[in-house]
Amino acid sequence: MSRKLEVLRAIVEDYVATEEPVGSKSLAERHALGVSPATIRNDMALLEEEGFITQPHTSAGRVPTDKGYRLFVDRLAGVKPLSAAERRAIESFLEGAVDLDDVIGRTVRLLSQITRQVAVVQYPSLTRSTVRHIELVNLGTRRVMIVLITDTGRVEQRILDAKAEVSDILLGELRARANALCVGKRLNELPDLLISLAPRADQEEEVLSSLVVSMILEMAIEQSEERIVLSGTANLARLGPDFTHSVRPVLEALEEQVVLLRLLGDAAESMTVRIGHEHELHSLQGTSLVATGYGRAGEPVGTMGILGPTRMDYPGSIASVRAVAQYVGNFLTESGS
Amino acid sequence: MSRKLEVLRAIVEDYVATEEPVGSKSLAERHALGVSPATIRNDMALLEEEGFITQPHTSAGRVPTDKGYRLFVDRLAGVKPLSAAERRAIESFLEGAVDLDDVIGRTVRLLSQITRQVAVVQYPSLTRSTVRHIELVNLGTRRVMIVLITDTGRVEQRILDAKAEVSDILLGELRARANALCVGKRLNELPDLLISLAPRADQEEEVLSSLVVSMILEMAIEQSEERIVLSGTANLARLGPDFTHSVRPVLEALEEQVVLLRLLGDAAESMTVRIGHEHELHSLQGTSLVATGYGRAGEPVGTMGILGPTRMDYPGSIASVRAVAQYVGNFLTESGS
DNA sequence: CTCTGGCACTGTCGCCAGACGAGTGCCAAT
DNA sequence: ATTGGCACTCGTCTGGCGACAGTGCCAGAG
C-alpha cells in the first residue's frame, strides 16, 4: 500500500484516539513510518488537495474529512478482534431472556454499552416474518381480541369492537379457518390469502369475519408498528463540548420513529456504513451509522446498528455490531422454530 | 400575604422567565410592588438569611434555592390556566389510538411537547388492575401461550414450554377454571386464588396446571415488567450551556428502568413535586419532578409526570400534568370497562 | 418602626495587546 | 525522492483595564 494511504490511516487512527487535529511531527513519532515529518507534510498536502483531510484553521493539524473516513473504512480498516470482555458479554447477555421485548431490550443495551455509542435496533419486521398462530378470544360484551404471533416471537394484539354479541362456535370456526390458511405464510402474503375468508353466506358471520380480516390486515400492514428502540443517548453527551450544540438536533431526530425507520431502512442486509453528509437528514451531518441486518442467514428480519460521531472507531464498531447481530440472529433462529 | 413572600414569588417568576439572576432594580420595575429597590434589597437580605435565595457571586442578582422553590410551589404558586392550544391538544391527542402501547406512547409525547421537558409515563401497574381475561393457546410442539388481559387494556404474554404434548380439552378446562376464578379480581389477589387450581388428581393435568399457574404468577408479580417510557430527552439539551455538564448523568440515570421506577414509585396518587436535593439520586440534583397518579378517580393505576430543571415553570407544568393525567384516566376508564 | 435615596464596594464580563507555540509551506541540499 | 532548516501564520493563553450590575450600609424622612 502506498505510503500516502498509510499516512491517511495513521491520521484517522490518531484523530479518533486523541480527538485533536494531528500534525506531521507527532505522526512521525507515534507511527513507525520510517520517514521524516517533512516527507509526511508533503503527503499530507497531497491528501488535502484530494479532499481526504482538512485543517480546521491554518497552522493546525489535519482532520479527516467524510471522504477520508470513507476511504478509510472501504480500503484501510482492518478487522479489529473483539476483546475478551466483549466476547464474554455478547455470549451471556441473552441468558434468561423471557420474551421478544426482553431480547430486543437487552440487545440494544449491550450494543450501546460495548460501543459506547447510541444503539438502534429494529424489531423483527412483521412483513418479513411468518405467521405461527392466530388467536381469537371472545371477551364478552361484544369484544373480540385478536392475537397474531410470528415465528420471530413477536406478538401483536388488537381488541375488536364487534357490532353484535359473538358466538363462541362461530369464533372457533373462524379461528380454525384463519389458522389453516395463514400459518407458515409470510405476513405480506396475508392480503391475498385472506380474501377467501370474506365471502360467506351467513349474515352474522359475514360481518364478523370481514371485521376480523380487516383488523388482521391492519396489524400486518401497518408500518407505523415497525418499532425501533434505542439506547445510550447519554453517550451523545460524552462528545466533548464542541459537539454540544449539535447534540440537540440529533436527539430530536432520534425521537422521531419515522427518521429512525428511514435511517435503518436502506441499511439492507450486509454491513452498511454511512458517514456524515451521506445521511439524507442534515441534522445527522456530524454522525456516522454502522448497521447491519440480522436474522436467519441470508434472510434478515430486521436491522441493528449504532450511531456515533463521524470521528469514531470504525473497525471496533463494525466488529461489535457484526458480532452482536450474528449472535441475536442465531438466538432467534434456534428458539424461534 | 406579606411583602417578603411577594418578593420571593417575583424572584422565582422572573428567574424562570429570564434564566438570569434577578436584581432588586429590575424586580421593582417589572412588578408593581409599590416600593423602592432599596426596600426590596432589605427583604432579599432577609430571604437570603432564611435560605430561600442565594447569590451565585457577591455582586450578582439572586437565585431561588431549592428551599425557595419549595415554598413557592407550596404556598405561592397559583393555578395557571391552560392555553387554548394546550387544551385542544390534550383533547385530541388520543383520537385514533389503537391499543395501550399507542395510548401510552401518545401520552408521553404529548406531555413532553406541551411542557417542553422530559416526560415520564408508567404503564398501568399490573398489581393494581384487575383481570379481564386469561387465555391459553395451544401452539403445538409442546408449547402453550398464556395471555393475561387486564381491564386497563394491558396485555402480557408468555410462551410456556410444557414438558409433554398438551391436549386441547385439558387446556380448555384449565382455561375455563382459571377464568372463572380470576376474572374481575385484582392481580395481587391472584396468588391466593390460584392455589385452589393446583391440587388435582389427574397426573398429566397436575403437571400442566402447576406450570401454568406458576407462569401466571410470574407475570402478575414480576415487577421488572413495570415498564416506564419517556420522551423529550432532547429538551434536556435546551437547558443552556451551563447545564451541559450535568445533562450526561441525568441521561444516564434516565436510562435505568430501576431509577425511573423509584423516581415515580413514591409519587403516589396526588400531585407530587420533588425539587432538586429532595431526590435521593444525586445525579438528579439539578432537576425537579412533577408527577401525579392517573386512573380511575381515587384509585390510580399508574403514575406520570415530567422532569425538568429546578428552574422550571411549576404552575404551568403542574397544570399540564394534572390535565393530561385526568384525561388519560377518563379515557382508560371509559374504554376499559 | 418603615421606607427611601445616596454612596462606596465588589466581583464578573468583555476587550485588547502581547507572548507563545504548534504546525505549515517552501527551498536548497543530499 | 527525501530531508533539515527557516520564515510565516494563526489560534490560544495570559494579564491588565474599564464598564457594569448589583449589593450593603447609613442617614434622613414619614
Residue A186 DSSP label: B
Task: Return the beta strands (E) in chain A as ranges.
Answer: 53-54, 63-64, 118-122, 131-140, 143-150, 155-161, 228-231, 272-275, 287-296, 299-309
Could you tell me which residues come within 8 angstroms of residue B232 by beta carbon, excluding any fewer than 6 positions away? Answer: A255, B108, B109, B111, B112, B113, B116, B117, B118, B119
Interface residues for strand D (CB within 7 Å) are: A 3, 34-36, 38-39, 42, 57-60; B 21-26, 37-38, 41, 44-45, 48, 55, 59-62
Q: Which of the four pLDDT bands, split at 50, 70 and 90, describes residue B337?
A: very low
| Strand extents, DSSP E, A52-110 | 53-54, 63-64
Q: Inform me whether the pLDDT recorded for A223 exceeds 50.
A: no
C-alpha A53: how far from chain center? 29
pLDDT more than 70, % of chain A: 91
Kindly report which listed range (A11-15, A165-169, A324-328, B296-300) carries the lowest average pLDDT score: B296-300
Do residue B139 and residue A155 have CB atoms under 8 angstroms apart? no
CB A126 under 7 Å to nucleic chain C: no
Residue A23 beta carbon within 7 A of nucleic strand C: yes
Picking from B135, B241, B248, the nearest residue to A238 by CB comes out as B248
Band (A131; pLDDT cuts 50, 70, 90): confident
Dig out the grid coordinates for A87 from the structure.
466476547
Choose the weakest-confidence range: A26-40, B10-24, B156-170, B291-305.
Answer: B156-170
B-interface mutation test, from A130, A231, A236, most B Cβ less than 10 A away: A236
In the chain, the amino acid numbered A37 is P
Contact A233 B233 (CB under 8 A): yes
Q: Give B62's DSSP letter.
A: B
Q: Position B154: which residue type?
A: R
- pLDDT of the residue at B332: 83
Cell triple for A31: 507511527
Model confidence at B174, in pLDDT bands (50, 70, 90)?
A: confident
Determine the Cα–Cα distance for residues B296 and B308; give it in Å rounded to an integer.
27
Cβ proximity of A21 and A58 under 8 Å: no
d(CA B62, CA B38): 14
One-letter identity of residue B129: S
Work out the burial of residue A119: count CB atoms within 10 Å of its CB; fewer than 13 is exposed, 13-18 middle, 19 or more buried: buried
Q: Which of B147, B241, B252 sits opposite A234 (nearest CB)?
A: B252
Q: Give the CA A288 to C1' C26 distance in Å.
A: 37
Q: Is B116 left (phi over 0), alpha (psi -120 to 50) or beta?
A: left
Count Cβ neighbours within 10 Å for each residue of B94-107 and write b for 16 or more, e otherwise: beebebbbebbbbb
- Residues counted in chain B: 337
Q: With contact defined as beta carbons under 8 Å apart, do A119 and A229 qualify?
A: no
A99 at B interface, C-beta within 8 A: yes
- Binned at pLDDT 50, 70 and 90, residue B120 comes out as very high
Between CA B176 and CA B197 the distance in angstroms is: 11
Cell 388520543 sits at which residue? B94
Residue B336 has pLDDT above 60, yes or no: no
Q: In what helix (H) or strand (E) does residue B118 lie, and over which residues does it extend?
A: strand B118-122
| Strand C-contacting residues in B 15-54, CB cut-off 7 angstroms | 34-36, 38-39, 42
The cell for B116 is 417542553
Round the CA-based radius of gyration of chain A to a whole number and report it. Answer: 26
Chain A partners of B105 at a C-beta cutoff of 8 Å? none
Judge whether A181 is closer than 8 Å to chain B, CB to CB: no
CA dihedral B26, B30, B34, B40 (to 10 degrees): -30
Q: How confident is the model at residue A324 (pLDDT cuts 50, 70, 90)?
A: very high
CB B300 within 8 A of CB B128: yes
Q: What is the pLDDT of residues A34-92, one digit of tens each?
A: 888 999 999 999 999 999 999 988 888 999 999 999 999 999 988 899 999 999 999 99
What's the confidence (pLDDT) of residue B12?
96
Q: Are A110 and A126 in contact (CB under 8 A)?
A: no
Q: What is the pLDDT of residues A262-279, one digit of tens each?
A: 888 777 678 999 999 999
At residue B223, the pLDDT reads 46
Q: Which three cell numbers stand for residue B8?
A: 420571593
- Check: CB of residue B118 under 8 Å from CB of residue B231: yes
* C-beta separation of B14 from B29 below 8 A: no
Which nucleotide across the nucleic acid strands is nearest to B42, CA versus C1'? D24
Q: What is the pLDDT of residue B193?
A: 76
B60, closest nucleotide (Cα–C1'): D22
Rounded alpha-carbon distances, angstroms, from residue B17 to A221, B11, B56, B66, B311: 47, 10, 18, 17, 9
Distance separating the N- and C-terminal Cα atoms of chain A: 47
Helix B203-221 vs helix B168-182: crossing angle, to nearest 10: 40
Report d(CA A235, CA B248) in Å as an integer. Answer: 8
**Calpha distance B215→B147 (Å, rounded):** 10
Q: What is the mean predicted confidence (pLDDT) over B63-75? A: 96
pTM higher than 0.75 = yes
